[in-house]
A and B are shown apart, each in its own frame.
Chain A
Amino acid sequence: MKHLEIRGLSSAYGSVRVLRDVSLDAGKGEVVSLIGPSGSGKSTLLRVLIGLTPPTAGEVSIAGEKVNYRNRRSVKAVRDRMSIVFQQYNLFQNMTVLRNVTVAPIKIKKRPRAEAEEDAMSLLERVGMAERKDAYPDELSGGQQQRVAIARALATNPEILLLDEVTSALDPERVNEVLDTIRALTSEGITMLIVSHEMAFVREVSTRIAMMDEGRIVECGSPARIFDSPTKARTRDFVSKILKH
């Protein structure tokens, strides 16, 4: 049984179909990356998984349990086990770094404040943001904000972590600090779905890569296969174009 199983998933914004019959799975602790041109449905796939955009067809199971996205409780249960980090504006602007990281553990998981703060501090330590625990998001650089956002996503102990272009809005010199943070997570047994345009990084950390185009998964395979010997022309095109940059 796969940890995350996606079967025939479709979704649409109004009459525009943006996901078409997507199937994908990930074993426990696997790092699966989604690549593909912008508008191909990568973000939508992650949004459907975490219950922000409703699917129109298909199934998702986590550790064998089917998710019912029409049912509030089922969606809550999914979000209990899964976290997401977006491209930007993740952190609550009105809360300090520490409060951002502890708000869900305290309010949702009902953990004692002292304990939650202790854990939050060790997470912040891991992403190198412990000294800035009392800062507000607008006092931090984009890269620092994203590192805190990753710490916040981890604070609820997710089994599955979704990362949607978390470095795309950053200044180039800030990208590596965030990629380093993610790299350090890949060996911790958290199943990860990563959307990224950082091809070298994707190649290095992924166990498998799925190429998306026009709402479909065109091809899925090992990094070596996707980058060195893709079978689909669409993948070849995309990979060669993006590697040239």
Chain B
Amino acid sequence: MLEQIAEQIPLFFGYHNVIFILQAAGRTLGMTFAGCSVGFAFGFLIAVLRQTTGPVLFLPRLLGIAYVEIFRRIPFLVILFIVLFVIEPLMPGTSLFGIATVSVCLLSTAFLSEIIRSGLESVPMQQIEGAKVLNLNGLQTLFMVILPQSWKVILPPAAAFVVMFIKDTSLASQLGVIEMTFAGEMLVNRGFSPVLGFGVVLVCYFAMSYPLSRLAIRLEKRLEAS
């Protein structure tokens, strides 16, 4: 078997294969980061919405809670298929990559919203009352008092979630998105050794997630120091 692998290596790392693998890695990262960035933005809005009180925003608040509670409980694969079957007839021609990215958005909005919410709620009540009695308004309190104090609670689990999602996007292969996992499978189907094909996939996943984990740890340390 080792002989076979050694024999295949020059061919495997040929120009076209490398491009193919890099493109697949790009799709994996693209889905994850585009999806999670949008998810972070929407998750943030929902988390802030849930901190409001009073009747004016009652309905949006309720919808926000319902969204988070429902979408946190649906498996990613199911979301992928739901999005596929909803988007296909409405917007024919949408790429599978687009569909997968939207799915990542939907799911990460729910999870990141919960992470952000617990960060916001980690700030002691006295800090918020202190802002109120100085006549700071809601937005000033949020951006000048609450958020600067909640980053260090939000960041570690949020980064862990994104790193985890790099792996979970492999489910998009079920839809036919040629991301990292699917690319490995295709190469193996073309006759390359599974050890070689999936070994490279494994290394790629590691190479994509490890720097992000390190970055998160460094940011966390920086935040803690300040």
Contacts and interface: CB of A to CB of B under 8 A. Distances in A.
Interface of A: 50-52, 76, 79-80, 83-84, 86, 88-94, 103-104, 107-108, 152, 156
A89 B126 contact: yes
A167 B140 CA distance: 29
Interface string B103-142: 0000000000000000000001011011111111000100
B145 A79 contact: no
A47 to B, nearest CB: 9
Interface of B is mostly: helix
Chain A, interface SS category: loop
Nearest to A109: B135
A103 B127 CA distance: 14
Given A89-B124, A103-B144, A156 B149 contact: no
A83 B126 contact: no
B127 A52 contact: no
Interface of B: 124, 126-127, 129-136, 140, 144-145, 148-149
Contacts of A152: 134
24 contacts: A51-B132, A51-B133, A52-B132, A52-B133, A76-B135, A79-B132, A79-B134, A79-B135, A80-B135, A86-B126, A89-B124, A89-B127, A89-B130, A92-B127, A92-B130, A92-B145, A93-B149, A94-B145, A103-B134, A103-B136, A107-B144, A108-B134, A108-B135, A156-B134
B133 A108 contact: no
B145 to A, nearest CB: 5
Given A92-B145, A93-B149, A94-B145, A104 B130 contact: no
B133 A84 contact: yes
A44 to B, nearest CB: 13
B133 A79 contact: yes
A89 B136 CA distance: 17
A50 B131 CA distance: 12
A199 B129 CA distance: 28
A79 B133 CA distance: 6
B138 to A, nearest CB: 11
A16 B224 CA distance: 41
Nearest to A149: B130
A79 B135 CA distance: 7
A138 B96 CA distance: 51
